[in-house]
Amino acid sequence: MIGFPKGKVTFRMFDANDLKSLHWGTLDILENAGIKVFSGECLKLLEDAGCTVDHNTSTAKIPGNVVEEAVRKAKKNLTLCARNPKYDVVLDGRRTYCTTDGNGTSVMDFQTGKRRMSTSADLAMVGKVADALDSAHIFWPCVSSQDIPDYLRHVVDLKVALSSIEKHVQVETTSHRREAKWLVEIGSALAGDEKALRRRPIFSSMHCPFSPLQLDGGSTEGALALARAGVPISFYGMPQAGITGPVTLAGSIIVNNAEVLAGLTMAQLAAPGSPFMYGTGGAAFDMKTMTWAGGGPERALISAGAGELAHHYGFAILCGGIVTSAKVPGPQACYEKISSGLPQFYAGCDMVAGLGLLDDVTMLSYEQMAIDDEMARIMARLAQGVAVDDDHMAVDLIKKVGPGGSFLAERHTMQWLHREHFMTDLTDRRTGEAWEADGRKSVVDRARAKVENILKEHQVTPVASDVMKSFESIVRSADEDIKSQGLD
């Protein structure tokens, strides 16, 4: 089974009273301040359920009992299925999974090292790399196909992603219900049909509110269309503490919670019992630079705290984690990604995003993606902690070897080595002399060599030719349909 088993080292910020306070604070906001939803369809759903709706301001005030009923109804224990079933992600609270980071618009060209806009070819290339990396359990398309027109880009992105990797694909940026319809068509073509897609959802979808307390109409309508098709969805709040959320982290966690629970409520009104995942990408707003501080420690604390709140409701959480503001692979990227990701592993979050992107999740670096894979395995090992039982204490073995002996040749060493010790891939632990003799290669050099080897040697099982033909036909039909609706 893929994924990292949740460990015994735990990180907890909230006690039971804290979680109750955050919950009741959220319900107070939803019922008395409300949330803006820029969709007539969604507002009518809420109005019919007993919410107070002001159509002139697109504001809905949602009673607490309606929210709590939605929490109760949602399907929570999910399996995010993959094209290859050995990569299925089982969200049962027992494992932590990593996802690539998603929807960057540029790439550090692997040949030239120069930054440029990303293309569908880049998306196919990074899919192959992610397919080979052990820590990339879920593929959130790292870059978008900037060579494809906006109105068709997300349909093409899903087609390319599903064709390039055998793992579960998670998409973002669904912008309207027509687009969602074609995403379901793409998924159904690969799964077999829409019923097969419902049984084995090979893609899921996340939807980002506009903090504070606003939901885009097209994206939300798209989320409801996907929920009706049985595609797992999440609402992924992104309040920036100090500007689109309170500067206090608990306040921003409440803003995130209100946005997520409002999206959940509409999804359950539209499709009762549909699969749902909690999401957060909250971070601080850097008052010095007036930019998003994605790699700051506040992001880690918001994500870990939101993870505890999600688990309080029984939901698996997808959280932003392994993130950096660095523009190139190197020290800043590594220390920000470790510090912004480790608390999520300690908090037992279910899905931690972040592999591969730099510059506040806007630019793909293949070298950084390989480094992130190694750092994710380090963080998972730290969360495992130290087991204490007869096998691990090895008292009888210590007595047998005795003073001055060696444990190197003992069967116990081989039995437990790979489970107890982190095995390096990129990390260089050789002597200084050996490193000098080998050309003084940096971790970035070694990461580049690893990616080169993947691109040369790794094979992704191709999608069947008849399915590829269906993909192309669906993209053509989507192009015509979306244009005819005036959505291009």
Query: Which residues have C-beta within 8 Å of that of residue 44, sequence separation ≥ 6?
Result: 53
The answer, yes or no, to whether residue 487 has pLDDT greater than 80, is no
As a whole number, mean pLDDT of residues 438-465 equals 97
Instruction: With respect to residue 398, please indicate whether it lies within any of the assigned structural domains.
Output: no
Read off the pLDDT of residues 302-318 as tens digits, 9 standing for 90 and up. 999 999 999 999 999 99
As a whole number, mean pLDDT of residues 134-149 equals 96
Instruction: With respect to residue 145, please indicate whether it lies within any of the assigned structural domains.
Output: yes
Dihedral (CA of 173, 177, 183, 187) sign: positive
Q: Determine phi and psi for 396, rounding to 5 degrees.
A: -60, -40
Read off the pLDDT of residues 150-194 as tens digits, 9 standing for 90 and up. 999 999 999 999 999 999 999 986 788 889 999 999 999 999 999
| Number of separate domains in the chain | 1
As a whole number, mean pLDDT of residues 221-245 equals 96
Instruction: With respect to residue 231, please indicate whether it lies within any of the assigned structural domains.
Output: yes
What is the chain's mean pLDDT, rounded? Answer: 95
Instruction: With respect to residue 413, please indicate whether it lies within any of the assigned structural domains.
Output: no
Q: Which domain holds residue 185?
A: 4-14+71-384
Output the pLDDT for position 155: 95
The answer, yes or no, to whether residue 78 has pLDDT greater than 70, is yes
Output the pLDDT for position 482: 86
Read off the pLDDT of residues 407-451 as tens digits, 9 standing for 90 and up. 999 999 999 999 999 999 999 999 999 999 999 999 999 999 999
Output the pLDDT for position 173: 67
Question: Which residue, among 316, 303, 260, 314, has the nearest Cα to 137 in the 3D structure?
Answer: 316
Distances (CA, A) of 227 to 159, 194, 206, 370, 436: 20, 12, 11, 34, 56
Query: Which residues have C-beta within 8 Å of that of residue 465, sequence separation ≥ 6?
Result: none
As a whole number, mean pLDDT of residues 54-80 equals 97
Instruction: With respect to residue 423, please indicate whether it lies within any of the assigned structural domains.
Output: no
CA angle 327, 335, 237 (to 5 degrees): 75
As a whole number, mean pLDDT of residues 462-479 equals 96
The answer, yes or no, to whether residue 11 has pLDDT greater than 90, is no
Instruction: With respect to residue 394, please indicate whether it lies within any of the assigned structural domains.
Output: no
Output the pLDDT for position 295: 86
Query: Which residues have C-beta within 8 Å of that of residue 272, sequence separation ≥ 6?
Result: 73
Amino acid at 296: G
Lowest mean pLDDT among 3-12, 253-262, 382-391, 394-403: 3-12
Output the pLDDT for position 176: 85
Q: What is the CATH number of the domain that holds 339?
A: 3.20.20.480
Q: How confident is the model at residue 8 (pLDDT cuts 50, 70, 90)?
A: confident
Instruction: With respect to residue 92, please indicate whether it lies within any of the assigned structural domains.
Output: yes
Output the pLDDT for position 488: 67
CA-to-CA distance for 258 and 211, rounded, in angstroms?
A: 10
Q: How confident is the model at residue 123 (pLDDT cuts 50, 70, 90)?
A: very high
CA-to-CA distance for 138 and 116, rounded, in angstroms?
A: 25
Output the pLDDT for position 415: 95
Q: Cα–chain-centroid distance for residue 213?
A: 22
Output the pLDDT for position 52: 98
As a whole number, mean pLDDT of residues 473-477 equals 96
Q: Please write down the HEC assignment for all residues of the chain.
A: CCCEECCCCCCCCCCHHHHHHHHHHHHHHHHHCCEEECCHHHHHHHHHCCCEEECCCCEEECCHHHHHHHHHHCECCEEECCCCHHHCEEECCCEEEEEECCCECEEECCCCCCEEECCHHHHHHHHHHHHHCCCCCEECCCECCCCCCHHHHHHHHHHHHHHHCCCEEEECCCCCHHHHHHHHHHHHHHHCCHHHHHHCCCEEEEECCECCCEECHHHHHHHHHHHHCCCCEEEEECCEECCCECCCHHHHHHHHHHHHHHHHHHHHHHCCCCEEEEEECCEEEECCCCEEECCCHHHHHHHHHHHHHHHHHCCCEEEECCCCCCCCCCHHHHHHHHHHHHHHHHCCCCEEEEECEECCCCEECHHHHHHHHHHHHHHHHHHHCCCCCHHHHCHHHHHHHCCCCCCCCCHHHHHHHHHHCCCCCCCCCCCHHHHHHCCCCCHHHHHHHHHHHHHHHCCCCCCCHHHHHHHHHHHHHHHHHHHHCCCC
CA-to-CA distance for 221 and 425, rounded, in angstroms?
A: 44
- pLDDT exceeding 70 applies to what percent of the chain? 99
CA-to-CA distance for 271 and 91, rounded, in angstroms?
A: 20
Output the pLDDT for position 328: 96
